[in-house]
Structure 1
Amino acid sequence: MSLRSRFQQTKDLVEKGFDKLTVPGPCDPYINDDIIPLPPHRRTWTQTTFNFFWLATSINIGGLTGSASILSLGLSVPQAVACDVIGSVIICAALVANGCQGGKWHIPFAVGNRAGWGVRGSWFVVANRLILSFCWYGVQTWWGGQVTKNMIGAIWPQFYRMRNHFPASANMETNDFIAFVIFWTISLPLLAIRPERYRIPALISSIAVTISVIALLVWALAKEGGGGPLFYDTHKTTGVAALKGSKLAWTMARGVTTTIGGWAGGIMYQSDFSRYARRSGDQIMGQIFIIPVCLILGSFIGVVVTSCAAGFYPDEGLLWRPYKLMEVIQEKENSSGARAAMFFLAFSFFLSQLCVNIAGNAITGGIDLASMFPKYVNTRRGPFIVAVVGFAMNPWQLVNTANTFISVLSGYSIFLGPLAGIMIADYFVVRRQNLRLSHLYIANTSSIYWFWHGLNPKALVVWALAVFPSLPGWISVLSKGKISMAQGWVLTSYLAWPLGFAIASTLWVAINRIFPPPGLGEVDETDVFGTFDEVGDPLDTEKAGRDDEEEDKKISKPQSEKGVEGNYIVER
């Protein structure tokens, strides 16, 4: 057999192997069943569903930890709460605005970005968000492992004192890793649950965690007899010099950016959930009030409980991580009642961590992967890939110290703020909320979203210009001073997300007024994907979905046009 024949044989075997990996149903490099506009029977989320979903996912370890860690900067409790309130209002406005596209057109975040960035250029945006999904899945799983450790320790206190087999450089002990693996393993079968089935899990989790954190707040205030030593003076506890004048202002700006940074990724992917709204507008009323309430409540509880703990456990340092506080309570109180209380508190956080991690990281990351590799990945396979990569991210290294955690949170928002600015400005100002859905899936020059070889160069230029002002200072902060930059650059990096958003949105509107994109105002003349039929009662649609799973793959036959074949749009 000649070398050429052997090469061809090997190539055929590889192609056959990849063919076996293709997702069920028709698909091509730009579309599959999971990223088309959702059909009516899969849109089951009402205003109440959104309310419970946000209760379940907003009040969690990450929310309490992120807000409380701001105290390590030297801010007092009222100052930290002020940062959280300002940040929460900005987060809510951005979340609601970015979810409108999904609520109206029922498309995921990854597809919606094709309008501004191009059919291929959107991969850049998706890749940025996907990196965050991997990181956050690992971090949230680590936190879930820590509350699992609290639960095991409440039943078997010796678990806390288990012999450690890891070196100090690992930044974790053997019991930490065991608990992490347990939580990661329990999460795996739950990754197969589709978002339209989240109603009951969100309800149970939201009730449990809300009651638990309020009980924790009441207990902490009663035990301390007030708001704790950090309420007005943090100097003695944190060792940070008293902040005044411009230094205080810039530190608070950093605190606001840190608050936003924790949700920078969530702001991006809102369409992944708002697309499940039963009717357009349900997601707005289900978010606009509950989001700020949940974010501010969680932040307030995290900050105040941390301050109280600094008073009644002064030798333990700042207990800004709830799972560390629960461990110390079990050790200090040393009673069966305390262990029982900590078990149920940890269990409520356990449920919350499952909800926020699966919905906010695994599912959204799976949708991102499905949009990048639709021929081989769907929303059933994608979450498992996110779980494996998240495990490999060594999340225990990311949450080692408060300052490292703050740098990571506020840092990546440097890249995401401009992306959000482009998304919101493009949808509301440039396109006036009009999209031609069928063209979002056409991968050739007949699409109005094709631009230059599938990429809109204007988007890349605007993004780079918006990222640049914050980048040098962020690099300096992340290197802990090893890379020296002028103080002005460092201070500018404290404004990462808001500054990037403002620059990107302004430049985007200006450049598109000068050079308008093709097809402005165009929409499909017919319901190409059959997504705008009347929706019945959500309970009926859930039952219909259970009775006939094949309905998930139905798509109305689109109009005959260049670039469209049968039910799917292909590249030519």
Structure 2
Amino acid sequence: MAESIPAGYSPRLYNEDLAPAEHRRWGFYSLFAMWMSDIHSLGGYTFAAGLFAIGLGAWQVFLALVVGIVIVFLLMNLSGYAGQKTGVPYPVLARISFGTIGANLPALIRALVAIAWYGIQTWLASRAVIIIALKIWPGAQGLTENNFLGESTLGWLGFLLMWALQLVLLRNGMDTIRRFQDWAGPAVWVVMGLLVVYILLKAGWKVSFELQGGTATWGVGHAFAAAIALTVTYFSTLLLNFCDFSRFAPDRRSVWSANLWGLPVNFIAFSVVSVVVTAGTYQVYGKHIYDPVEIVGRIDSVWALLLGAVTFAVATLGINVVANFVSPAYDLANVWPEKITFKRGGLIAALIALVITPWNLFNSPLVVNLFLGGLGALLGPLFGIIMVDYYVLRRQHVAVGDLFRERGYYTYRNGWNLKAVGSFAVSAVPAVIVALVPAFDYLAPFSWFIGAAIAAVVHWAISRHDTSIAESVAAAAAAEPAAGRPPEALI
């Protein structure tokens, strides 16, 4: 790999996967399909209906979804534009604010969240495989009656199948992933369309939207604000690393258009369909069913079962690849670029997701709430620091080449920007406390916003007079018009 490193770049910081993107093949449709893959999942299906549980009515849930997803659209553009302009993935973008070595802190935090959910989502996808297997081979029921490390033989076989299928996507890196996303997301829309027609026909086109909900403990106003905040938090992982995908976009307009149609338009449409189907199940089956795989399993047709189960397995793999596979592949490559490529990073992430036996994580409230909840609370502060640094302090002027040099504008002190680390520490503590301590349940839904806001303000306050930032901005701004090309070419 050393022969391909440009002059002046460090092998500790550079490999071809982390380098600014040269081939910009992720146009409008590929990014739009990526959002379909992310949203058209079992989690996305149950999310909208789940908001009724916090004590909101149908119109309030709908309005909260609209407001929340518009906020997501605006914030996602920030990450997307940065990736498209610089051409670099999330861990390299984080070097701008945290330093060339310090960027491993935000990268590994994001990777830990992704790997845990990578394993969990793979296991959830395997549930659809088991439904298919038992429908076709009823005799396989005996394989579900033993237990090894918390899972049956059939469970292990289903999990390993889904686990292996995702590794196939590593074959040609991001290009294979792009081709997979191009059809995976739309495929779910086809099945969802058939499912909503089936449920409405069985219900006689009579559906009540009075879904079973909870009580608004602190009033409807708080519940409405919480629903908006939860909608934003649902996308908190990709708010950090959407640049992993937008770096391959040919222009900013492609990013904006794909985000518009993929987030507000597609998310709201899919949420409405999900609520309609869930509401219809009460009329048909006498109870609200929030799992579409279970609904498909009740259809008295092997072909319908196969179509539905396969599609929702693909849907789960789709969100897994987008939210939990690509990110750790880049994040781990960033730790040791000389030895770890994107493909090797993905393989390492997959192996870790295998050995942690994710069903044991998912079935442990302590692990899910404390470990994953605590890590999730850290994503807001990271977003606040990285975005205020890029847009406010540097005004989008970055000397991209210095992101790969041992001595440059982003070396700071031995590769660490202690101001960014300090901002993170100051904001992470209240974010985690609000997210996890029961006494702050009132504020818990807003932990992402609290962490992001504190981090952004603190980082801006202690860095706004930093002379090194002013020097890097001046150098990058001066180079851009001279080159006549976007900053990704300034290497």
Q: TM-score, normalised by structure 1?
A: 0.76
Provide the residue aligned with 1:523 in structure 2.
Answer: 476
Provide the residue aligned with 1:34 in structure 2.
Answer: 17
Q: Which amino acid aligns with 2:411?
A: W
Which of 427, 447, 460 is the matching residue for 1:496?
447
CA contact (8 A) 2:34 2:322 kept: no
CA contact (8 A) 1:471 1:493 kept: no
Provide the residue aligned with 1:137 in structure 2.
Answer: 118
2-side partners of 1:302 and 1:409: how far apart?
26
State the Cα distance separating 1:379 from its structure 2 match: 0.9
2-side partners of 1:119 and 1:186: how far apart?
34
- SS of corresponding position for 2:437: helix
Provide the residue aligned with 1:14 in structure 2.
Answer: none
Change (3 A) 1:359 1:494: closer
Which of 108, 116, 119 is the matching residue for 1:127?
108
Change (3 A) 1:24 1:34: farther
2-side partners of 1:57 and 1:460: how far apart?
30
State the Cα distance separating 1:272 from its structure 2 match: 0.9
Which of 216, 232, 253 is the matching residue for 1:243?
216
2-side partners of 1:262 and 1:207: how far apart?
21
Q: Which amino acid aligns with 2:173?
A: R
Provide the residue aligned with 1:443 in structure 2.
Answer: 406
2-side partners of 1:120 and 1:513: how far apart?
22
Which of 27, 43, 46 is the matching residue for 1:65?
46
Q: Is the aligned partner of 1:465 residue 2:429?
A: no
State the Cα distance separating 1:115 from its structure 2 match: 1.0
State the Cα distance separating 1:225 from its structure 2 match: 4.6
Q: Is the aligned partner of 1:116 residue 2:94?
A: no
Q: Which amino acid aligns with 1:300?
A: V
RMSD: 3.3
Provide the residue aligned with 1:513 in structure 2.
Answer: 464
CA displacement, residues 469-490 of structure 1 (integer Å, 9 cap, x when unaligned): 332243235xxxxxxxx3xx22
Provide the residue aligned with 1:148 in structure 2.
Answer: 129
CA contact (8 A) 1:417 1:498 kept: yes
State the Cα distance separating 1:282 from its structure 2 match: 2.4
Q: Report the more deviating stretch, 375-384 or 197-206.
A: 197-206
Q: Matches of residues 292-441 of structure 1 in structure 2 within 5 Å?
A: 292-314=264-286, 319-327=289-297, 329=298, 333=299, 335=300, 337=301, 339-400=302-363, 412-441=375-404
CA contact (8 A) 1:221 1:308 kept: yes
Return 5+ residue gaps in structure 1 as ranges.
1-21, 478-485, 534-554, 559-572
2-side partners of 1:385 and 1:378: how far apart?
10
1-side partners of 2:489 and 2:434: how far apart?
51
CA contact (8 A) 2:203 2:284 kept: yes
Tell me the percent identity. 24
State the Cα distance separating 1:145 from its structure 2 match: 0.9
Provide the residue aligned with 2:80 in structure 1.
Answer: 99
State the Cα distance separating 1:158 from its structure 2 match: 4.9
Q: Which amino acid aligns with 1:36?
A: A
Provide the residue aligned with 2:158 in structure 1.
Answer: 179
Change (3 A) 1:35 1:524: farther
CA contact (8 A) 1:96 1:288 kept: no
1-side partners of 2:367 and 2:200: how far apart?
29
Change (3 A) 1:173 1:248: farther
Change (3 A) 1:501 1:256: same
Change (3 A) 1:159 1:74: farther
State the Cα distance separating 1:364 from its structure 2 match: 2.3
Change (3 A) 1:404 1:298: farther
- SS of corresponding position for 1:434: coil
Provide the residue aligned with 2:212 in structure 1.
Answer: 234
Which of 86, 106, 127 is the matching residue for 2:67?
86
Change (3 A) 1:403 1:390: closer
CA contact (8 A) 1:55 1:206 kept: yes
Q: Which amino acid aligns with 1:218?
A: V
Provide the residue aligned with 1:50 in structure 2.
Answer: 31
Q: Which amino acid aligns with 1:112?
A: L
State the Cα distance separating 1:409 from its structure 2 match: 7.3
More helix by share: 2
2-side partners of 1:188 and 1:271: how far apart?
22
Q: Report the more deviating stretch, 287-296 or 95-104.
A: 287-296
CA displacement, residues 358-402 of structure 1 (integer Å, 9 cap, x when unaligned): 343222211111111101100121111111111223322444499
CA contact (8 A) 1:250 1:494 kept: no
Q: TM-score, normalised by structure 2?
A: 0.87
Q: Which amino acid aligns with 1:214?
A: G
CA contact (8 A) 1:43 1:276 kept: yes
2-side partners of 1:255 and 1:126: how far apart?
28
User: How many aligned residue pairs are there?
Assistant: 483
Change (3 A) 1:255 1:99: same
